[in-house]
Amino acid sequence: MNTMTCRDGAGLIMDYLEDALPAEVRAEIDAHLTACPRCVAFVSAYRATPRIVRDATAVEIPDALVESLQQFLARRRGR
């Protein structure tokens, strides 16, 4: 009988994704995931987060925008 709850699994997500859990605990989470679409979505989003952050921060701000922002902030500080 699978006694793993969504809350239990969420608390173990990092160890689960790093394959750092005992086999029986991993099996309980795997069994829970077969019956819980919400947790499957949670695991997918958790796995995607580093890529999303990396993609979002990989964009370089154009020099003209950097200069404009610096001027704006300087004016706001009263320089």
The pLDDT, as a whole number, for residue 56 is 86
Looking up tokens 């890529």, which residue turns up? 51
pTM of structure: 0.63
- Say if CB 42 and CB 12 are below 8 A apart: no
- Domains of the chain and any CATH numbers: 6-76 (1.10.10)
pLDDT of 70 over the 80 cut: yes
- Nearest Cα residue to 4 out of 27, 37, 38: 27
- Say if CB 2 and CB 24 are below 8 A apart: no
pLDDT in tens, 10-67: 999 999 999 999 999 999 999 999 999 999 999 999 999 999 999 888 888 899 999 9
Give residue 79's pLDDT band: very low, low, confident or very high (50, 70, 90).
low
